Amino acid sequence: MVSFRLSGAGGYGDPAARDLEKIREDLKDGYMTPAGIERDYPGVAFEAEED
């Protein structure tokens, strides 16, 4: 038996070139946290949205 355990893809392209609206959508959809955005996209910050 052979088993491979791999993580998901690392993504495509330079994170610094990512469209800010796409980052905002990921945050809204729960794919990223504010801390993750701060870590992965230095200098990018979003204000909290009112529900």
Q: What is the mean pLDDT of residues 13-36?
A: 90
Q: What is the mean pLDDT of residues 27-37?
A: 91
Q: What is the mean pLDDT of residues 23-29?
A: 92
Model confidence at 48: pLDDT above 70 = no
Mean confidence (pLDDT) of the chain: 84
Q: What is the mean pLDDT of residues 20-27?
A: 92
35: enclosing H helix or E strand:
helix 34-40
Residues 19, 26 contacting (CB under 8 angstroms): no
**Any idea where the domains of the chain sit in the sequence?**
16-51
pLDDT higher at 49 or 13: 13
Half-sphere exposure of residue 40: CA atoms within 13 angstroms, side-chain side = 17
Residues 6+ apart with CB under 8 A from 24: 46
